[in-house]
Amino acid sequence: MRIAFVMAHEGVEQIELTSPWQALAETGETPQLISTRPGSVQAFNHLDKADTFPVDGTVGQASPDEFDALVLPGGVANPDALRMDERAVAFVRAFFDAGKPVASICHGPWTLVEAGVVRGRTMTSWPSLRTDLRNAGATWVDEPVVVCHEAPSTLITSRKPDDLQFFNDAMLREFGKVAV
């Protein structure tokens, strides 16, 4: 299974990248970091710069057809920049069009709003996105993780770093990496 982690060149919340990445790596997967620019991604611990991570490909080079699932980490600046990049939005939308599972945490659903894929879905997120998600047609709930099996693809959403264990468990289960 090939799994894409999509993010902007800076602004991703480091733990929301590294924790799901590690959970997948422990199953033998080698996720791919896909970004809006080549080089590296600057991660943050809240508002402070953290580590950098090498980019494996860009949304302009990579094809969603090459991947079986998508992870959208949060951080405030990351999804805000992604939603302004037409290629990134199209890349994300393609996973839904193809019926592939998508997992998104914290502010990550902002990109999903821009991609027009939340209408009719039950989701969670960082609380400040509640109105944006509702205005885009989603049902927002305040739960650690929500798995929505609304066709055409499964969507896993979570609120914040404190919920990462719930998020990772649901992501692994829905990506077929552990027994149901």
**Axis crossing angle, helix 14-25 with helix 164-174, rounded to the nearest 10:** 40
Residue 25 tokens read as 């790596």
Catalytic (active-site) positions = 106-107
Distance CA 107, CA 99 (A): 22
Q: Pick from 103, 51, 46, 100: which is nearest to 78 by CA?
A: 46
Four-CA torsion 95, 167, 145, 86, nearest 10 degrees: -30
